[in-house]
A and B are shown apart, each in its own frame.
Chain A
Amino acid sequence: MISIETLKNYGANVEEGLTRCMNNESFYLMLVNKVLSDNKIDQLEQAINNKNLDEAFEIAHALKGMYANLSLDPITKPVVEMTELLRNRSDVDYSALINEAQAQFAKLKEL
Chain B
Amino acid sequence: MQELLERKKGLHRKILIVDDEFIEREMLGNMLNSLYEIEYAEDGEKALDTIKQEKTKLSLVILDLHMPNLDGYSLLEILHSDPELRRIPVIVLTAEKEAEVKSLQLGAADFITKPYEVPEVVQARVLHSIELAENSVIIHETERDELTGLFHKEFFFEYGRILDDRNENMPMDAMVIDINRFHLVNELYGRDFGDQVLKTLGKSIHEFVNATGGLACRSDSNCFYVYIPHQENLNEVLSAQIEKIDSTFTEPKIHIRVGAYSDDGSFVNIEQRFDCARLACGRLSKAYETSYGFYSAELHDIELHSEHLINDMDRALAEKQFKVYYQPKYNIEGDTPRLCSAEALIRWFHPTYGMVSPGEFISLFEDKGLIHKLDRYVWNEAAAQIKAWKDKYGVSVPVSVNVSRVDVFDPLLGDTMQEIVTNNGLEAKDLLLEITESAYTDNSQQIVDTVMALRNRGFKIEMDDFGSGYSSLNMLTSLPIDALKLDMKFIRNICNNKKDCGLVEIMIKIADLLEVPIIAEGVETREQMELLKGIGCEIIQGYYFSKPVPPEEFEKYIQA
Q: Which residues of A contact B (CB under 8 A)?
A: 19-22, 24, 27, 31, 34-35, 58, 61-62, 64-66, 68-71
- A61 pairs with B66, CB closer than 8 A: yes
- A69 pairs with B114, CB closer than 8 A: yes
- A58 pairs with B23, CB closer than 8 A: no
- On whether A68 and B115 interact (CB within 8 A), knowing A34-B22, A62-B66, the answer reads yes
- Whole-angstrom distance between the alpha carbons of A34 and B30 in the complex? 15
Q: Which residues of A contact B66 (CB under 8 A)?
A: 58, 61-62
Q: Which residues of A contact B513 (CB under 8 A)?
A: none
Q: Which residues of A contact B24 (CB under 8 A)?
A: 65-66, 69
Q: Which residues of B contact A (CB under 8 A)?
A: 20-24, 26-27, 30-31, 66, 95, 114-116, 118-119
Q: Which residues of B contact A24 (CB under 8 A)?
A: 30
- B30 pairs with A27, CB closer than 8 A: yes
- Whole-angstrom distance between the alpha carbons of A65 and B118 in the complex? 15
Q: Which residue of B lies closest to A40 (CB)?
A: B21
- On whether A35 and B95 interact (CB within 8 A), knowing A58-B66, A65-B114, A65-B115, the answer reads no
- A22 pairs with B23, CB closer than 8 A: no
- Whole-angstrom distance between the alpha carbons of A62 and B23 in the complex? 10
- The 4 nearest A-B residue pairs measured at CB: A68-B115, A66-B23, A69-B115, A65-B114
- A19 pairs with B119, CB closer than 8 A: yes
From A22, A34, A66, give the contact of B119 (CB < 8 A).
A22
Looking at B21, B66, B114, B119, the one whose CB has the most chain A CB atoms below 10 A away is: B21
- Whole-angstrom distance between the alpha carbons of A68 and B116 in the complex? 9
- A68 pairs with B114, CB closer than 8 A: yes
Q: Which residue of A lies closest to B95 (CB)?
A: A65
Q: Which residues of B contact A68 (CB under 8 A)?
A: 114-115
- On whether A65 and B119 interact (CB within 8 A), knowing A20-B31, A22-B31, A27-B30, the answer reads no
Q: Which residues of B contact A35 (CB under 8 A)?
A: 23
Contacts A65-B95, A66-B21 known; 6 new A-B pairs at CB < 8 A: A19-B119, A21-B30, A22-B30, A62-B21, A64-B95, A69-B115
Can you report 20 residue pairs joining A to B where beta carbons are below 8 Å apart?
Answer: A20-B119, A22-B31, A22-B119, A24-B30, A31-B23, A31-B26, A34-B22, A58-B66, A61-B66, A64-B95, A65-B21, A65-B23, A65-B24, A65-B114, A65-B115, A66-B21, A68-B115, A69-B24, A70-B23, A71-B115
Q: Which residues of B contact A69 (CB under 8 A)?
A: 23-24, 27, 114-116
Least Cβ–Cβ distance between B368 and chain A, in angstroms: 71
Q: Which residue of B lies closest to A87 (CB)?
A: B96
Q: Which residues of B contact A65 (CB under 8 A)?
A: 21, 23-24, 95, 114-115
Q: Which residue of A lies closest to B116 (CB)?
A: A20
A contacts with B: majority SS:
helix
Q: Which residues of A contact B116 (CB under 8 A)?
A: 20, 69
Least Cβ–Cβ distance between A17 and chain B, in angstroms: 9
Least Cβ–Cβ distance between B112 and chain A, in angstroms: 11
Q: Which residue of B lies closest to A63 (CB)?
A: B21
Q: Which residues of A contact B118 (CB under 8 A)?
A: 19-20
Least Cβ–Cβ distance between B269 and chain A, in angstroms: 55
- Whole-angstrom distance between the alpha carbons of A62 and B19 in the complex? 10
Q: Which residue of B lies closest to A69 (CB)?
A: B115
- Whole-angstrom distance between the alpha carbons of A61 and B116 in the complex? 15
Q: Which residues of B contact A27 (CB under 8 A)?
A: 26, 30
Q: Which residues of A contact B26 (CB under 8 A)?
A: 27, 31
Q: Which residues of A contact B27 (CB under 8 A)?
A: 20-21, 31, 69
Q: Which residues of A contact B23 (CB under 8 A)?
A: 31, 34-35, 65-66, 69-70
Least Cβ–Cβ distance between A67 and chain B, in angstroms: 9
- Whole-angstrom distance between the alpha carbons of A35 and B20 in the complex? 14
Least Cβ–Cβ distance between A45 and chain B, in angstroms: 19
- Whole-angstrom distance between the alpha carbons of A70 and B30 in the complex? 13
- Whole-angstrom distance between the alpha carbons of A62 and B95 in the complex? 11
Q: Which residue of A lies closest to B115 (CB)?
A: A68
Least Cβ–Cβ distance between B114 and chain A, in angstroms: 5
Q: Which residue of A lies closest to B117 (CB)?
A: A20
Least Cβ–Cβ distance between A53 and chain B, in angstroms: 15
Q: Which residues of B contact A22 (CB under 8 A)?
A: 30-31, 119
Q: Which residue of A lies closest to B26 (CB)?
A: A31
- Whole-angstrom distance between the alpha carbons of A71 and B95 in the complex? 15
Q: Which residue of A lies closest to B122 (CB)?
A: A20
- Whole-angstrom distance between the alpha carbons of A70 and B22 in the complex? 12
Q: Which residue of B lies closest to A27 (CB)?
A: B30
Least Cβ–Cβ distance between A103 and chain B, in angstroms: 21
From B20, B22, B95, B115, give the contact of A20 (CB < 8 A).
B115
- Whole-angstrom distance between the alpha carbons of A33 and B27 in the complex? 14
Q: Which residues of A contact B22 (CB under 8 A)?
A: 34
- Whole-angstrom distance between the alpha carbons of A34 and B119 in the complex? 21
Least Cβ–Cβ distance between B68 and chain A, in angstroms: 9
Least Cβ–Cβ distance between A6 and chain B, in angstroms: 19
Least Cβ–Cβ distance between B363 and chain A, in angstroms: 78
- Whole-angstrom distance between the alpha carbons of A20 and B29 in the complex? 11
